[in-house]
Structure 1
Amino acid sequence: MILKLGLAGNLQEMELFVHKMMKAACLGTDESCVLLIESFCQNGKVQEALLVFEIMSLAKYRPSISTCNVLLSTLVKERGDFQSVVFVYKEMVKAGIFPSVDTLNFLIEALCGTGRIDAALEQFRRMKKKGCSPNSRTFELVIGGICMQNRVDILTKILDEMFEAGCTLDHDFCNNFIPLFCRVNRLDEGLRLFRMMRGSDLLPDLSVYSALIGCFCENLWLDDGVNLLSEMIDTGLMPSANMYVDIVNGFCKLGKFSEAMMFLDEKSVFETAAYNSLLEGYCAAGRFFEANGFLWKMVEMGMCDNLSWNILIRRLGEEGHIGKCFEVLNRMIVCSYMPDDATHSALIIGHCKICKHANAVDLFRLVRLKEWCLDSATYAELIDGLCHTEKIQEAAEVFQYMSGKGCSLSTLSFNLLIEWICLMGKVDEAIKLRSFAFSSRTSSNPVTYTTIMLALCKLNRSKDILVLLSQMLVEGCTLDATVYSILIHGLCAQNRIKDAALLFDQMVSDGFVLDSETLSKLLSSLANHSQVHMVTDSLNKIPSEVLSPSIYNLVVNGLWKEGHKSEACKFLDCMLEKGWVPDTITHGLLIGNADREGMDGLPFEDAGLHDKVSNILAEGLDELS
């Protein structure tokens, strides 16, 4: 009955019957629980198995180590909650069930799977204290976790321990970990395993050779890479295109173009990708004359494709040789190769490099007509060029098109576009483009929002600023000092004084300092609403050099009027220590001799007009007389 309820997903009813079974304490209850746990695990019902285990543990029944391992294995395999794995292991410890190497492997696997590599290593180190010796699976898990988190500093030591433990290498282990070592550029460890693999008569597969050859070439060990390729061919394995590409790229990095050509000839390579890599190498080195000749040779050999022509045209365009681009383009068409989107990208880049942006826009509109998609670098180059030549409408047109195609623009280029649009006073269009950016995964940063917010601030559109803030927070963008300043200005303009005070507190808490102008505006607004006391704690955290005499006067005056005389005196003491004299209003409050009727109506912004030593001295003389 319990099994049927569990398989049907009726957890509450199932739990009720398990408790009843435990309470009845029938003969064979523990065996029944074990059977239930294992049956649920076999059917992928992890939650049900865990529930039976939990009730069984509460009732002080002790499951066998094999049952615990079945449950742990299922939890790890099904990627269950990590805390559930910990729970099962803790219950085992409390019940005095000694773990096996499999138990600890499951625990290590769960730790590695959740990125807790240090904890996994700690469990690995303590295995012997628990009466277990690590096996090949243990080392496989630990090494895999180390590599995934690029913790290669301890990799050699773990490998040494593995070999000292006498673990035998198997085919899968080597074929999995040699490429992994190569990906993190640990060639020594990869070669060590490779040599041991061959010594154990284990045959490496194509992925092992590919990874090692790629790593050799990345480290510019070209002779070793070529020799390994020849050795692989002798075993009967056929090289993949990327192996030839890696070796050619290595020769090109060393400037050994003749050797690269000789390699392709000797190996009778018929992979266009390898020839394109050599052509790219010539172009990257600025050897365009040789690149041009090599391209003709590729055409004659039948090793040419559209990419080959586009490589040369693109590189010539990036150097601003637009005339040469069209020469190659003409030959491309004559040879029956049709220009495509990559060709047009190259030509647009070329026109941008020589500041012929009108021609670049004409090409772009042809691209749009054909509904092609350019690469991100071309879009960025075109938009940057159009912005700098103040062709902002065309730049916006390009951005809208690329966004519609799902292409993203670099944040730097996007901010440039937003800045120019705001300078033209088209803030609504800037907001519209920012929504396009979000849908096409073009990243916005505080500069993006600050630029638009400043434009909105100049137009006194405070509500729109707050809407933009909500979008900014939803996208996970952090606030900086400028954004805080704009927002506080906007809140003060809307008389949302308490919100402005709370935002100021948050700003200070985040370690930012408000500029003097905005701080004065905030304090004036707070004083006019008798709320200066709300920001006293934050003002005490601000560096004293930021506070000016007028700001001190606002604070002292405001606090005194609000009945916080003790705090007002503290700020006055700070002011006097700096050698600053209180203004007329503040002085009048403190000595009780001010014309309150005249002063109460005086705006705090105008207080500085009366901050004259002669006025204060005059008041003091009148009092003495």
Structure 2
Amino acid sequence: MEQTSQLTKALLKNSNNPSLAWHFFKHLISSPSSSSKSYHKSIPTITQILISSKMLLELDQLHQLILLQPPDVSRSSLIALTQASAKSGLLDKALNQFQSLRSNFPNQPPSIYLYNVLLESSLKGNRVECVSELYKDMLCSGIKPETYTLNLMISFLCDLGHLEDAQILFDKMPIKGCHPNEFSFGILISGYCKAGLSLQALELFDRMRSFGCSPNTVIYNTLISCFCKEGKVDEAEKFVEKMRESGFSPDVVTFNCRISILCGAGKVLEASKIFNDMHSNDDLELPKPNIITCNLMLEGFCKERMMEEAEALVEAMKGDGVFTTLESYNTWLLGLARNEKMLEARAVLQEMIEKGISPNIYSYNILMDGLCKEGMVSDAKLMMELMKSNGISPDAVTYSTLLHGYCKKGKLIEANNILHEMTRIGSFPSTFTCNILLQSLWKEEKILEAENLLQKMNERGYSLDTVTCNIVIDGLCKNGKLDKAIEILDGMWNHGSAALGDLGNSYIRLVDNTNERKKCIPDLITYSTIINGLCKAGRLDVAKKKFIEMLGKNVTPDSVIYNTFIHSFCKQGKMSSAFRVLWDMEKRGCKPNTRSYNSLIWGLGSKGKINEIYQLMNEMTEKGVYPDIITYTNLIRSLCEGGNTRDATSCLDQMLQTQIQPDVSSLRSLIKSFCKAGDFEAAQEVFAIGLSICGHKAVLYALMLNELLVGEKTLEANAMFLAAIRRGFDVGGFSYKDLIERLCKEEKIKEAHSILHKMIDNGYQFDPASFIPVIDAFGKSGNKREADELAEIMMEMASNGWKVNKNHYKEYNEKKLKRGTPQTDGSDWQTILHRDDGSGTVVKALKRVQKGWGQGSISTLQPQKSEIPDYWEDT
């Protein structure tokens, strides 16, 4: 014993020089004169030294040396070696050593303690197969499990989700001679709670007393957390009271559980109330918040965009001196980045560095992700360089974030370079990352590059999934290769992603195997993409066949697919078929949405069926689907095309009353309709509404100007165009050349000349050919000098790329002023163009032009009784 103690001390003394310790021990154990029995108790010490120094080859040598010792020494030494290896996490080594033990001593099974150590190590390493084999070996060896052993097995079964088996084993514990303890109950209760089965957990909790077990704080906290997670806040509060009644004071962990779950459920105000009570209400004897509590609350505020509260909490934490951890800073960085506050986030990063809190890779990845989402990819690249300069190597997340950012900006060359850099340094992107780049390549119609990427993904052993196939199918559909897309869809059911193999020149050919097929079968998006492509191409018969196929494959269609069919039938004028789709949609439990009805309203409007539109709108509101701006825009268009302009105005009034703001599209039909009818006063009022609601937009001015020209309201058009110039609008969308030519034909030369004058004064570049009608008009009227001077400016402007020499024009302008400045029109339009009034004026304007719907109330349109085997064919 004394010799062993001295050896152990000598080994520990030389632990800083593990190589020397090993050679010393190996010399002693190999020496023929030494007594092996004297050294086996030092096995754990030398094993720990070798493991700590990562001398795994020497550990294997120790294993072989032990096997050479006498049987009684070898057995005890193997047990010690196996235990030490298992406790250090070297499970494979421990299992190999255990196998030697069982092979060399088949009739001397090890103790239950060694089995427990190996079982626990297997559980920590998530080695399911090892747990099962060890437990079977233990039972076959006649070793009776103890309570600790069965607790490990119950934990193992709970982790696998086999709660029924765990419960059976728990119930058999007394039969096996083991009495369940509080840990047995705690493990199974935790398993039920993780599975969201709070009732079963509570039932087990109530059984604890009958086994002589008392619940501890951990069990109470587990149940409280489960109640909160399931939204049973009242039950959680009652359980907190029950915890107090049982003599347990809820600790900070209890409250952290509640706050975490409430914040996760979006109930941040409720969590904040608990947090404030903990912080300030001493009468309730609540635990004070710790740093975890504060971080949870900060994360909750940021998640719900309550940034003022979040900032106040950060300041309070700084005031209390607890805002000092990396986790707190990262939580705050993530909150700022998610709320698009990147300047503040950068300042926080700088603050971290100044306070000596080194940002980790997660900190930088947060900032890079935020910058990329804001489109600031160059800044994100600089952030990655800063990370490198601070000694932190980018990981797969860093590169993937940057790659996604470049793809979003359409910078595919840079994205591809990032992919190459990742693979060069051995940081391989995930399939998800490659799919992002693949989708971007298809979007930019870089088909060859997309093929090459797929080839590389296959060469590197990436598991191509359904998403990959969907991206390829979408790209083929958008490039008009529908038959090839259908071929891939059909092949996916039997060959998985191997269906991509026959796509063309350089596409991959994957091995057809069972596992791949399971992971890569068509889903709802696959069918939705194919059906959408077929409908857009007008191949509705093939689209319907694919729809029937997906039903047969138990792929449930959603509103997107139904809406695709409804829109396509309406586009082809097959309204009966479109309505059959709507009824089939409802029959299958898929609720129609606003888009469904908008397509039908558009289709009915194209056929002039206004009464049916009103019926359909009544029906949709009765079903809880409410009109949006597109609904009203389609209705207004239909009414105007049918000559019911007054009713369309009433429809505009209804939009305003229901707080739906019209846009230029909503107003376009009304303005055009009034102008076509020669009612320019009403058009003027609608235009005024547009200015009030939409603002002074160039597209609105262009619409009104073009209609005035068509209606030969030249002076009004002139006043409007001059107003547009004053506001600095881009005149590209205006018919300014037609306006100048019309003014000249009507012998309003000064006004036409004034337009050129204003455009030059305001720095516009415009077509020099606009001078020609004015020059001709001056020439015909005998103003040869004006005509010549304008012709000279026109030629100079044409030669300078549509730019006027300012000095030359200034001289001409001074001469012109001496001869008199042309006057602009001062009509009523000037009043409208200069006012920025609000909704009050809008409503008054409407009252002047509307006369009501004029259609009366019409009963709801009822669907015809019809089965759907024909799949929506028109009769």
- Per the normalisation by structure 1, the TM-score is 0.45
* Higher relative contact order (CA closer than 8 Å, sequence separation 6+): 2
- Per the normalisation by structure 2, the TM-score is 0.34
